[in-house]
């Protein structure tokens, strides 16, 4: 008896990090469902991966900042057999003072970075919980941990991705479903052109290739990490941060205002 290959759904597969995830899952023998707006790019990648790896690749051109686009991908996730992986990678950034952005621009960024990721997670996790298997990889950012002038909306959305992922991880604890948050630092992709910040002004030594980022993130997944930060060498810093975060949370269960707030 032959078994059907598992399917990996990858959003934002037309360039950068998502295209590398597509290649890496193709190498691992997965069939693919690739999502992004640029149909030609998706088709080109699909043709290449099918020819190189003998897998089946479907493309689904969709705008995930648009209700119809999100619905189309939700439906594809619900109807496609053997889905085992969702990589919530599609994202965008506009780095500029908050008040310089329009309501429409900010809402579109929230729709893509938060709403689409949440709804696709719901569609996938509903299946994964029922079948007690499956993996969701949510691409957050090191700016999930920090915000600077110009990055309020982008950092805010990535902060959401990290905390949303933490919550889901608590819900699937003890099952065979895995959920990973990946926090890339500066990675050489087209997002910089979109964001309005030229890569030329970034310190070259701080820039990682998307191949290195994805390979490290997949190694972190295989090691069972809940949160993977490929560029962070000193893991003790993360452990200290996590420990301080949890200590503050638990220390807040006092029920009374701290003495410094007494009038």
Query: What's the min distance (Å) between Cβ of 126 and ligand NAP?
Result: 21
Residue 125 vs 191, nearer CB to ligand NAP: 191
- Length in residues, the chain: 263
Residue 133 vs 212, nearer CB to ligand NAP: 212
CB neighbours of residue 159 within 10 Å = 17
30 is catalytic: no
β-strand pairing of 31-36 with 134-139: unpaired
For residue 246, what are its two tokens? Answer: 């949890």
**Which residues are 138's β-sheet partners?**
88, 181
Query: What's the min distance (Å) between Cβ of 257 and ligand NAP?
Result: 38
Question: Between the CA of residue 220 and those of 17, 183, 217, 223, what are the distances in Å?
Answer: 16, 11, 5, 5
Contact status, residue 56 vs residue 39, Cβ threshold 8 Å = no
CA 155 to chain centre: 13
Q: Which of 70, 65, 140, 141 is nearest to 107 (CA)?
A: 65
Active-site position among 30, 154, 160, 249: 154
Query: What's the min distance (Å) between Cβ of 69 and ligand NAP?
Result: 6
Mapping DSSP to helix (H, G, I), strand (E, B) and coil, where does residue 182 land?
strand
Query: What's the min distance (Å) between Cβ of 41 and ligand NAP?
Result: 6
Residue 48 vs 129, nearer CB to ligand NAP: 48
Residue 105 vs 172, nearer CB to ligand NAP: 105
Query: What's the min distance (Å) between Cβ of 89 and ligand NAP?
Result: 5
Q: Which of 41, 50, 47 is nearest to 18 (CA)?
A: 41
Footprint of ligand NAP (CB under 6 A): 12-18, 36-38, 41, 63-65, 89-93, 112, 139, 141, 184, 186-187, 189-191, 194
Residue 133 vs 195, nearer CB to ligand NAP: 195
Write out the catalytic residue numbers: 154
């Amino acid at each position: 008896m032959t078994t059907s290959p598992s399917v990996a759904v990858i959003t934002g597969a037309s360039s950068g990090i998502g295209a590398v995830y597509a290649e890496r899952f193709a190498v691992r023998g997965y069939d693919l469902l690739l999502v992004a707006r640029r149909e030609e790019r998706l088709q080109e990648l699909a043709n290449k991966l099918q020819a190189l790896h003998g897998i089946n690749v479907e493309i689904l051109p969709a705008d995930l900042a648009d209700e119809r686009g999100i619905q189309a991908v939700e439906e594809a996730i619900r109807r496609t057999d053997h889905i085992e992986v969702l990589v919530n990678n599609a994202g965008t950034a506009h780095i500029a003072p908050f008040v310089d952005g329009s309501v429409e621009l900010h809402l579109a960024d929230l729709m893509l970075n938060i709403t689409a990721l949440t709804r696709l997670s719901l569609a996938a996790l509903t299946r994964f919980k029922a079948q007690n298997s499956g993996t969701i990889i949510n691409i957050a950012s090191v700016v999930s941990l920090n915000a600077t002038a110009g990055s309020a909306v982008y950092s805010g959305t990535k902060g959401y991705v990290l905390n949303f992922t933490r919550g889901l991880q608590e819900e699937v604890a003890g099952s065979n479903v895995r959920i990973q948050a990946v926090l890339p630092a500066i990675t050489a992709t087209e997002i910089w052109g979109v964001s309005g910040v030229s890569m030329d002004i970034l310190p070259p030594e701080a820039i990682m290739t998307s191949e290195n980022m994805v390979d490290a993130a997949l190694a972190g997944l295989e090691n069972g990490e809940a949160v993977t930060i490929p560029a962070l060498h000193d893991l003790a810093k993360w452990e200290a941060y996590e420990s301080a975060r949890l200590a503050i949370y638990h220390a807040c269960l006092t029920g009374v205002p701290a003495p410094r707030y007494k009038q």
